[in-house]
C-alpha cells in the first residue's frame, strides 16, 4: 500500500503544487548514499554537473526546438548546475540537425549535447545516456514535454534529500490530466498497469515519461537491465526495488501530445511480451 512520503533520509516532506508525493515502501530501505559505488558508468568528457537531463528522441525534429528552448530556459534559472543530452535513436527526419542548430545558437549557460544510439528502443537510448553521465543526479523525460519541465524542482528536492528515485505519476493522488489520451491508449495503459503490479510493488504509474535518479543508486540497476523497448521502465524500477531502494512518486499535470512515435500495436504488444518475460524470470528466481 502506498503512503505519503514522510520526513526522513530517503524522502522529504515537500508538498507538490498538485498534491503530496507518494513514497512506495519496500523491504530493507536504503538511501541513495548507502548504495555501493562498485559499478562505474561509461565515462563522459563533459564537466561534472549536479543534474543531467536526457531526452530520448526518435524522429522528434518537429517538437525538439520548443522542448529544448523551454528546458534550457528553466534550467538556467535554477541554483543547481545542469546539462541536457539529446539521444538520437536512429532518427530519419533531421532530429540531429535540429539539436546541432540549437547548440550553435546557444550561449552555453546550460550546455546541450547530442549523443547517438544505434540500438533501437527508448530503453536503449535512456540506458546509453545515463550510463555515460558523471552527474550527481540523472534522469529523462520525453521530447513532447507531456510532463511540465517545472516538475524538476520537486524531483530535485527529493533527490537532494536522499531519495534514490523520483518518478512522475499520472495516477497517484493529486495528479491531473490536462489533455487526456485517446480511449484506446487509456484502455491499453490500464491493462499494462495491472500486469506490472507483480513486478513493481505499489507504483501506480510505471510508464510516465519522467524519471530521475541518484546516479550512484541507479547505475547497478541500469547495468542489470536487458529490455530495450517501452517496458524498460518496468525492469529498471523492478531492479531498484529489488535492491531495497525507495521509489518516490510525484503527481504530475500531464498533457497528451499527438505525433508520438509509440505504436499501440507494434510497441504495445512488444511491451506486453517483455513484461511477461520479466514475470517468468522473477518467478524462476523466487523458486
Each residue's pLDDT tens digit, 95-149: 999 999 999 998 878 999 999 998 999 999 999 999 999 999 999 999 999 999 9
- Domain extents for the chain? 7-32+41-286
Do residues 22 and 252 touch, judged by C-beta distance below 8 A?
no
DSSP state of 182: P
Number of Cβ within 10 Å of residue 103's Cβ equals 16
Mean pLDDT score across all residues of the chain: 82
The total number of residues written for the chain in this structure: 287
Give first-to-last CA distance, the chain, whole Å.
25
Q: Which positions ≥6 away from 159 have C-beta within 8 Å?
A: 32, 137, 166, 212, 213, 214
7-32+41-286: CATH topology: Spore Coat Polysaccharide Biosynthesis Protein SpsA; Chain A (3.90.550)
- pLDDT tens profile 147-195: 999 999 999 999 999 999 999 999 999 999 887 767 767 777 787 788 8
What pLDDT score does 47 carry? 81
pTM of structure: 0.80
Amino acid at each position: 500500500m502506498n503512503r505519503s512520503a514522510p520526513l526522513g533520509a530517503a524522502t522529504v516532506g515537500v508538498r507538490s503544487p498538485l498534491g503530496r508525493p507518494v513514497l512506495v515502501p519496500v523491504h530493507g530501505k536504503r538511501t541513495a548514499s548507502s548504495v555501493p559505488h562498485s559499478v562505474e558508468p561509461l565515462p563522459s568528457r563533459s564537466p561534472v554537473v549536479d543534474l543531467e537531463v536526457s531526452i530520448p528522441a526518435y524522429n522528434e525534429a518537429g517538437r525538439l526546438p520548443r522542448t529544448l528552448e523551454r528546458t534550457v530556459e528553466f534550467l538556467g534559472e535554477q541554483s543547481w548546475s545542469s546539462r541536457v543530452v539529446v539521444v538520437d535513436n536512429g532518427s530519419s527526419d533531421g532530429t540531429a540537425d535540429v539539436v546541432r542548430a540549437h547548440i550553435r545558437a546557444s550561449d552555453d549557460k546550460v550546455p546541450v549535447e547530442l549523443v547517438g544510439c544505434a540500438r533501437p528502443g527508448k530503453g536503449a537510448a535512456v540506458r546509453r545516456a545515463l550510463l555515460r553521465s558523471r552527474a550527481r543526479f540523472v534522469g529523462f523525460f520525453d521530447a513532447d514535454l507531456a510532463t511540465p519541465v517545472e516538475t524538476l524542482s520537486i524531483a530535485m528536492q527529493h533527490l537532494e534529500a536522499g531519495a534514490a528515485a523520483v518518478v512522475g505519476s499520472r495516477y497517484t493522488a493529486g495528479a491531473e490530466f490536462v489533455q487526456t489520451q485517446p480511449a484506446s491508449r487509456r484502455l491499453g495503459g490500464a491493462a499494462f498497469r495491472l500486469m506490472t503490479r507483480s513486478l513493481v510493488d505499489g507504483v501506480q504509474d510505471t510508464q510516465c515519461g519522467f524519471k530521475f535518479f541518484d546516479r550512484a543508486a541507479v547505475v547497478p540497476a541500469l547495468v542489470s537491465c536487458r529490455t530495450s523497448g517501452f517496458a524498460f521502465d518496468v525492469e529498471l524500477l523492478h531492479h531498484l526495488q529489488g535492491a531495497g531502494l525507495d521509489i518516490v512518486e510525484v503527481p504530475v499535470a500531464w498533457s497528451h501530445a499527438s505525433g508520438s512515435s509509440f505504436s499501440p500495436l507494434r510497441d504495445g504488444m512488444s511491451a506486453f511480451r517483455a513484461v511477461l518475460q520479466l514475470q517468468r524470470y522473477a518467478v524462476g528466481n523466487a523458486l
